[in-house]
């Protein structure tokens, strides 16, 4: 299965040549109920990545005297010398031991995110290793923590409408969700619903592929989603369109929310001012939303995605939107409800896999300090690590490319340039991050390792077989950290566990939703649907009854009421930097992954190096399409070529992620983004950034 960080978690069939052991073909598994036989554009061309001549195949060490810094693509190996795995592991173990002895183990910081979202690859032996070492803990907040915590605050568990049920919806909102670009396997279900008469409404400040294909696109001002949701509630409650019977059974705090939503601040005219969406549209959509599903009509489904919560008050936005189906009772209808994440469907035994109790056996003898990954720049450059405690003296990066994807890039790179920082990077390629390493280690791709995986966009647990032998001397994350544990002298037998044992452990808590799901059954069947409760019709309808909620009150919690605030980094507060910057993902990359592969670069050629602008912002600055422009704020500046088109509204400019070393100036859009955290969940605020633009 595909282990990239995507809600679709596809089943993949790999054809391997017996003679050479080489993978020669990849296709979507036709028997997988969500993959349905096709792959996204980027993974369809995956073999170009696996067999790229640029793959990192051997451990390497920075040559003596070569200073840290960005390297030109294709010339990275010149700064390094090849060493054996034994040499690499011995040197890493010796350096980590010495740093731990001198500065305390918390001066060592692991940094990883979602290069793979397999249970083993994402977090298993690596966690055991760093817990036992007493290293700082990393709070993995760069993607979804604001929305995740917000959704849980309302429902107590991350569940939602499953993709297969979207065909039954009559009204679908793609809310901060670029379905066609980021979540393509939901698209056929939406198309099926539309053939049956459904309308698709996109709420997004950017005209995505999804928006271009929709029935209606609402160009919302960034960071104002809570206002829109409250405006919809206002109309629904003012007109008495709520489902009182459902609310009585399933909602806690309704009267308070009702009074709040009915406040004149949330009347359509006021909301129109904040959101940029006109009052008549808000009225019409709120009524259509509330009445869908009534009297035998098809229900309303919201595909809320994480775009909405990458904003200063993104947690509040998600809470407000998540409350809409609680007012209308949309959860009661097949195809109704909301999907942000389905990850709560999988009761993994994560503590067995990761063993946090090992922190007690570490030299610290207690839980180590937590470092928020969105504050990497501060942690590496502020003397007290920006978070209290010892300065960071060692950084161990795997499953991530922070030099390109972390916010406030100038601080991150300044930190990585420190020659007193010992840095290890486990990677498939010479990324922007690997350029700064003391030691680089080669990592496997998902074809080269065995794992087990759930999904955050469907409900199938799946086993991923190893299709081919690791290329060169690549090792997977499990073997790397197991072996390194041994080198460090850790004697616990858990460092000997291999993939099969780890799979058994993470499946092994006997939870009813994992009934019948074992390594053996998964080996046989490939994937198995999680055994969630079904109603009298055999349907799984989350939150249709009070039994589903996992909140303290046992119902959907709409208190504390969501209060709309405009982000401080928004036009509402703009002074020197009047434009809102949307630093987006590419439709054919995966964050920074694939950006170095020529096949994928060709798919994104049109979006390379451009800043998209609205005519009314370009004209007063004397900017025309094709002009070179500087985009800047107090954090830094980058150069791109303007494209004045209809992709963004007035006051918003947009550009996409790229590897730093593939840009003209050696720096990407995260030069402009902020380390500020979201209101809930300590999340990243990539979509709250103010800039100014000038023609060069």
Ligand X SMILES: Nc1nc2c(c(=O)[nH]1)N[C@H]1C(S)=C(S)[C@@H](COP(=O)(O)OP(=O)(O)OC[C@H]3O[C@@H](n4cnc5c(=O)[nH]c(N)nc54)[C@H](O)[C@@H]3O)O[C@H]1N2
Binding site for ligand X (CB under 6 A): 5-6, 113-116, 121, 142-143, 175-178, 181-182, 203-206, 208, 220, 222-223, 225, 305-308, 311, 398-401, 405, 426-429, 431, 443-444, 477, 582-587, 589-593, 657, 669-670, 673, 686-687
Rounded CA separation 444/24 (Å): 17
Q: DSSP of 77-143, one letter per residue?
A: GGGEEE--HHHHHHHHHHHHHHHHHHH-GGGEEEEE--S--SHHHHSSHHHHHHHHHTPPEEE--SS
Handedness of CA 426, 430, 433, 434 (dihedral sign): positive
Please give the residue whose beta carbon sits closest to ligand X in the complex.
307
Residue 308 binds which of ligand X, Mo ion, none (CB < 5-8 A, kind-dependent): ligand X
* Identity of the residue, 505 or 592, whose beta carbon is nearer to ligand X in the bound complex: 592
In angstroms, give the least distance from the CB of 636 to ligand X: 13
Terminal Cα distance for the chain, rounded: 47
Contact call for residue 143 and Mo ion (CB under 5 A): yes
In angstroms, give the least distance from the CB of 222 to Mo ion: 18
Select from 127-135, 142-150, 405-413, 434-442 the region that touches Mo ion (CB under 5 A): 142-150
Rounded CA separation 558/259 (Å): 12
In angstroms, give the least distance from the CB of 484 to Mo ion: 27
Q: DSSP of 445-500, one letter per residue?
A: -GGGS-EEE--SSS-EEEEE---SPPSTT-B-HHHHHHHHHHHTT---GGGG--HH
**Torsion angles phi and psi, residue 400, rounded to 5:** -165, 160
In angstroms, give the least distance from the CB of 411 to ligand X: 15
In angstroms, give the least distance from the CB of 346 to ligand X: 17
- Candidates 57, 37, 46, 36; CA nearest to 2 is 46
Paired residues of 383 in beta bridges: none
* Identity of the residue, 283 or 427, whose beta carbon is nearer to ligand X in the bound complex: 427
Q: What is the residue whose two structure tokens read 């680089």? A: 440
Contact call for residue 394 and Mo ion (CB under 5 A): no
Q: Answer for the pair 9, 462: CB distance below 8 angstroms, yes or no.
A: yes
Rounded CA separation 224/205 (Å): 10
Paired residues of 138 in beta bridges: 371
Which tokens belong to 69?
């810094």
* Identity of the residue, 7 or 651, whose beta carbon is nearer to Mo ion in the bound complex: 7
3-state SS of 598-623? Answer: HHHHHHCHHHCCEEEECHHHHHHHCC
Residue 426 binds which of ligand X, Mo ion, none (CB < 5-8 A, kind-dependent): ligand X
Q: How many residues bind Mo ion (CB under 5 A)?
A: 1
DSSP three-state, residue 9: coil
Which residues within the stretch 540-569 sit at the binding site for Mo ion (CB under 5 A)? Answer: none
DSSP three-state, residue 287: helix
* Identity of the residue, 422 or 581, whose beta carbon is nearer to ligand X in the bound complex: 581
* Identity of the residue, 205 or 299, whose beta carbon is nearer to ligand X in the bound complex: 205
Sheet with 460-464, strands from edge to edge, namely 451-453, 460-464, 527-529
Q: Answer for the pair 387, 375: CB distance below 8 angstroms, yes or no.
A: yes
Select from 136-144, 383-391, 501-509, 612-620 the region that touches Mo ion (CB under 5 A): 136-144
* Identity of the residue, 497 or 604, whose beta carbon is nearer to ligand X in the bound complex: 604
In angstroms, give the least distance from the CB of 136 to ligand X: 18
Q: Answer for the pair 663, 651: CB distance below 8 angstroms, yes or no.
A: no
- Candidates 676, 559, 157, 570; CA nearest to 319 is 559
Residue 427 binds which of Mo ion, ligand X, none (CB < 5-8 A, kind-dependent): ligand X
In angstroms, give the least distance from the CB of 530 to Mo ion: 22
Residue 6 binds which of Mo ion, ligand X, none (CB < 5-8 A, kind-dependent): ligand X
Residue 564 binds which of Mo ion, ligand X, none (CB < 5-8 A, kind-dependent): none
* Identity of the residue, 120 or 528, whose beta carbon is nearer to ligand X in the bound complex: 120
Contact call for residue 590 and Mo ion (CB under 5 A): no
In angstroms, give the least distance from the CB of 442 to ligand X: 9
Residue 142 binds which of Mo ion, ligand X, none (CB < 5-8 A, kind-dependent): ligand X
In angstroms, give the least distance from the CB of 444 to ligand X: 6
* Identity of the residue, 339 or 505, whose beta carbon is nearer to ligand X in the bound complex: 339
In angstroms, give the least distance from the CB of 643 to ligand X: 16
Select from 137-145, 152-160, 554-562, 676-684 the region that touches Mo ion (CB under 5 A): 137-145
In angstroms, give the least distance from the CB of 432 to ligand X: 9
In angstroms, give the least distance from the CB of 276 to ligand X: 11
Q: Where are the beta strands (DSSP E) in 552-608?
A: 556-557, 579-584
3-state SS of 144-200? Answer: CHHHHHHHHHHHCCCCCCCHHHHHHCCEEEEECCCHHHHCHHHHHHHHHHHHCCCEE
DSSP three-state, residue 280: helix
Element (H, E) at 286: helix 279-291
Residue 585 binds which of ligand X, Mo ion, none (CB < 5-8 A, kind-dependent): ligand X
Residue 105 binds which of ligand X, Mo ion, none (CB < 5-8 A, kind-dependent): none
Q: Answer for the pair 664, 609: CB distance below 8 angstroms, yes or no.
A: yes
Rounded CA separation 410/412 (Å): 5
Rounded CA separation 55/239 (Å): 60
* Identity of the residue, 338 or 517, whose beta carbon is nearer to ligand X in the bound complex: 338
The two beta strands, 652-656 and 579-584, are parallel
From residue 36 to residue 75, what is the string marking binding to Mo ion with x (rule CB under 5 A)? Answer: ----------------------------------------
* Identity of the residue, 242 or 435, whose beta carbon is nearer to ligand X in the bound complex: 435
Select from 143-151, 178-186, 198-206, 674-682 the region that touches Mo ion (CB under 5 A): 143-151
In angstroms, give the least distance from the CB of 339 to ligand X: 11
In angstroms, give the least distance from the CB of 93 to ligand X: 18
Contact call for residue 689 and Mo ion (CB under 5 A): no
* Identity of the residue, 314 or 347, whose beta carbon is nearer to ligand X in the bound complex: 314
* Identity of the residue, 381 or 408, whose beta carbon is nearer to Mo ion in the bound complex: 408
Rounded CA separation 201/217 (Å): 6
* Identity of the residue, 305 or 459, whose beta carbon is nearer to ligand X in the bound complex: 305
| Cβ neighbours of 565 (radius 10 Å) | 16
* Identity of the residue, 315 or 336, whose beta carbon is nearer to Mo ion in the bound complex: 315
Residues that bind Mo ion (CB under 5 A): 143
């Amino acid at each position: 299965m595909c282990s990239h960080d995507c809600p679709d978690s596809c089943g993949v069939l790999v054809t391997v040549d017996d003679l050479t052991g080489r993978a020669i073909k990849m296709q979507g598994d036709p028997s997988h109920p969500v993959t349905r036989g096709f792959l996204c554009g980027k993974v369809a061309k995956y073999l170009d990545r696996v067999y790229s001549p640029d793959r990192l195949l051997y451990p390497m060490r920075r040559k003596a005297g070569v200073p840290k810094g960005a390297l030109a693509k294709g010339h990275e190996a010149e700064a390094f010398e090849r060493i054996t795995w034994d040499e690499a592991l011995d040197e890493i173990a010796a350096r980590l031991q010495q740093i731990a002895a001198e500065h305390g183990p918390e001066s060592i910081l692991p940094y990883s995110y979602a290069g793979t979202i397999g249970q083993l690859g994402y977090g298993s032996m690596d966690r055991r290793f760093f817990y036992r070492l007493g290293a700082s803990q990393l709070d993995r907040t760069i993607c979804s923590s604001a929305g995740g915590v917000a959704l849980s605050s309302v429902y107590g568990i991350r569940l939602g409408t499953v993709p297969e049920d979207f065909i039954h919806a009559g009204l679908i909102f793609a809310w901060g969700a670029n379905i066609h670009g980021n979540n393509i396997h939901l698209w056929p279900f939406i198309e099926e619903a539309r053939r049956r008469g459904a309308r698709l409404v996109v709420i997004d400040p950017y005209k995505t592929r999804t928006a271009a294909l929709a029935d209606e696109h609402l160009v919302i001002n960034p960071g104002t989603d809570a206002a829109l949701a409250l405006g919809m509630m206002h109309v629904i409650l003012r007109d008495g369109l709520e489902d009182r019977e459902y609310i009585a059974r399933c909602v806690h705090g309704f009267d308070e929310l009702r009074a709040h939503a009915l406040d004149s601040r949330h009347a359509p005219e006021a909301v129109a001012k904040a959101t940029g969406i006109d009052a008549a549209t808000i009225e019409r959509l709120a009524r259509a939303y509330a009445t869908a599903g009534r009297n035998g009509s098809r229900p309303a489904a919201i595909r809320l995605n994480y775009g909405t919560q990458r904003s200063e008050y993104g947690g509040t936005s998600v809470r407000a939107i998540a409350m809409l189906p609680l007012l209308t009772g949309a959860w009661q209808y097949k195809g109704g409800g909301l999907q942000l994440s389905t990850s709560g469907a999988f009761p993994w035994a994560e503590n067995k896999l990761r063993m946090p109790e090992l922190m007690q056996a570490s030299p610290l003898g207690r839980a180590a300090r937590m470092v928020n990954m969105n504050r990497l720049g501060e942690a590496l450059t502020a003397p007290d690590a920006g978070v209290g405690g010892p300065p960071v003296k060692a950084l161990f990066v795997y499953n991530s490319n922070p030099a390109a994807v972390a916010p406030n890039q100038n601080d991150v790179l300044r930190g990585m340039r420190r020659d007193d920082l010992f840095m290890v990077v486990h990677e498939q390629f010479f990324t922007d991050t690997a350029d700064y390493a003391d030691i680089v280690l080669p990592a496997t791709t998902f074809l080269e390792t065995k794992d087990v995986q759930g999904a955050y966009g469907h409900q199938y647990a799946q086993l991923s077989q190893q299709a081919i032998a690791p290329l060169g001397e690549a090792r997977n994350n499990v073997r790397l950290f197991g072996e390194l544990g041994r080198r460090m002298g850790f004697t616990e037998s858990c460092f000997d566990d291999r993939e099969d044992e780890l799979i058994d452990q993470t499946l092994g808590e006997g939870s009813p939703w994992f009934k019948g799901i074992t390594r053996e059954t998964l080996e046989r069947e490939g994937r198995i649907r999680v055994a969630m409760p079904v109603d009298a019709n055999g349907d799984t309808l989350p939150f249709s009854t009070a039994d589903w909620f996992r909140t303290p009150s046992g119902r959907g919690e709409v208190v504390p009421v969501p209060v709309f605030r405009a982000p401080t980094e928004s036009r509402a507060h703009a002074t020197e930097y009047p434009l809102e910057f949307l630093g987006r993902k590419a439709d054919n990359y995966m964050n920074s992954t694939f950006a170095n592969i020529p096949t994928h670069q060709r798919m994104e050629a049109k979006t390379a190096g451009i800043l998209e602008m609205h005519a009314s912002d370009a004209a007063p600055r004397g900017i025309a399409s094709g002009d070179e422009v500087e985009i800047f704020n107090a954090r830094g500046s980058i150069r791109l070529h303007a494209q004045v088109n209809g992709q963004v509204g007035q006051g918003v400019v947009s550009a996409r992620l790229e590897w730093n070393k593939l840009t003209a100036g050696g720096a990407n859009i995260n030069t402009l983004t902020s380390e500020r955290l979201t209101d809930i969940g300590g999340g990243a605020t990539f979509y709250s950034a103010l800039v100014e633009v000038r023609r060069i």
